[in-house]
Structure 1
Amino acid sequence: MITTGFPFIAVMAGLCGFLVWIEQRYPSRFFQWFPSIVLVMFGSMALYTAGVWQMTPEVAVARAAVRDNLIPAMLFLMSLRFDLSIIRKLGSRLILLMLGSTVTIMIGFVVTYLLMNTFLGDETPLTFGVMSAGWTGGTQNFVAVKQALDVSDSAMAYTLLMGALCYSFWLILIIALKPFKARLQTFLRAEDNGLDEVMERLSGLGQTGKTDTQSLMLMFGASLIVAALSHHFGGVIAGFGLLNPMVWAIIISSVAGIALASTPVGKLGGGDEISSIMLYVIVALIGAEVNLSAITKAPMYLLSGVMILAIHGALLLLLGRLLRMNLHMCGIASIANIGSAPSAAVVAAAYDKNLMPIAIIMALIGSMIGSFVGLTVSEILQMLS
């Protein structure tokens, strides 16, 4: 059993490398349904369940350090392909889709509480409020609302399990829907007016230089420096009481990439390759603390999580039909709420890597409003109780 940091990170990297190699070496229809990035998360969860590593303090510190530093580094490299003009072209539709996705999650929590409150704990209005903050803004909003509502760790235990497991499987489900994209396009009545043009514009942007050892080293080093600076200045800004340091690190690194996108730096090669490696490792780390055997310990909470996501998914598809948005945009809007910027980037990568900048912006919108959403849901549920 692994109990120290470096062997744990080595296994994560080895898992990613092996599954990517298998996918490329033995292409089959199986990988169309379950691409390697999905298998990486499943594999990470399965290895943790099998007891390959124990989440000791040293392992937890290594996991958090690698994950939290790779996230802004990856976002910086991905944002180098971003063209601000896409906001002017599809800003209103994308924002409506994102905010609508948030509202459907809130509805899911309220309706599920009304149906399931007799089977859940007395503190469910508070724990659901905390989880709704996490499912619309990310971990930083989860922590902020938990502290604001003064919810104990013991009260959060099963709800936290619900959040971790349901989120992981929701991410996998959204990516696994890719083969049904054409069928769902008919239901959604998708009109890509403007989006096709944006995709075409994005396909001509970004790194056009030669990818060699020099460019790979330059982009790798630059991304890590940007990540370090983003965390430093994010901590300084958060010290004034404005949001969470991680939120600012994400904003700063993304803005840095956007600012450099139109400069010669944005044309350098190597960024796509480095950011893809980072993306796989982050996904492995996301699943590294989810024990599949725990699914039997909190059936009512897990059922509640499934109900919340089912309501959210159904309403989001109806909203997508109303806005005439396609499947991948609906998927990104959903996971940008329920997950985070890395999760949204995973879905964007699975459908079309050119959508990653849009995924980042949607996730940042969720981060900004997540705490407000959590407190609002908690107030609503307390009134209903």
Structure 2
Amino acid sequence: MEFVIVVAALVVVALVVGGVLLVRPRAGRPRPPVERPSERAGGATAVDEADAGAPPAERAPPVEVPPQRPAVEIEKPPPGAGRLVRLRARLARSQTTFGKTLLGLLSRETLDDDAWEEIEDTLITADMGTTVARQVTDDLRTRVQVLGTRTPGEVRDMLKEELVKQIGPDLDRSLHTETPGERPAVLMVVGVNGTGKTTTCGKLGRVLVGDGKTVLLGAADTFRAAAADQLETWGSRVGAQVVRRDEGADPASVAFDAVKQGIDTKVDVVIVDTAGRLHTKTGLMDELGKVKRVVEKQAMVDEVLLVLDATTGQNGMQQARVFAEVVNITGVVLTKLDGTAKGGIVVQVQRELGVPVKLVGLGEGPDDLAPFEPEAFVDAILGE
């Protein structure tokens, strides 16, 4: 009996010792601490924990953050006043031959009929038009007869005075950008393909921003996607708003939306670029009239500027006449005037249309559009 009790006691002791050994961790192999989600590097989320247990193929791809687009630096263009004087050298390069020829002829000791005929031909060659060239020649001939002897300075002053008179120093060449009330001034820009019309809109926006105006550009040339892209580029450089629609959209609708946004955002000037229509296509010209009528349902059109390429001569005059019949042209922008010796087109355009040349393009640079000043123009023609 005592033997059985001893054996049972040993069995109990053995069971207790074995249980303790099973519970204690083995020496030298400590368990890793339990890792909490909040203690992981980077603060892993529940989604991270789920992905960690998923097969590699099922894990969510890492999110790529696109690089930020560099901000366009807003430029501060120079004001419009005095630009033609600053750009006079470019004008002189193309026009000086015309001026020097006239000065040389008028400086001869004796001016016979052949000399006066040569003076008239020089004026006609400069695209001044036959009627104007004959009138200028007759006026100069009378003044020479009165003066008698002529010094080079007197000849230059006489010729300058006559040319300035023909160009029209008293014409109102200002852009009508001031309006009563709070509505913006609305400027429509028209012209055929290739005259630099859309570029002129962008440069005109720069001129007005340089003069302290806020500007909105309306891309109503919806037949050419590049036109809207060009305007956006011009607008972004000076902080001007741009209204555009998909290619092929109704031009009148785009022009209407542009003016409406201009009214809502209280800008000073809205410039509407229209499609470069070929003057031989009557339907497209009628559409140009429609654009103007639709815009005027909510705001008066203050300026309709016709863009003409100064190098096209008589062809440009034909274009001008057709546009003048469709919309009420209020002013002319002569582009590429630095690339032609035919500066007399300024006089002819004004005579034909009865409206002044208000702006001239004198290069490819962003600030090469200048308000037209008759005296500075003639000085450039005649040289120092």
TM-score (norm 1): 0.25
Which one has a bigger Cα radius of gyration?
2
Higher strand share: 2
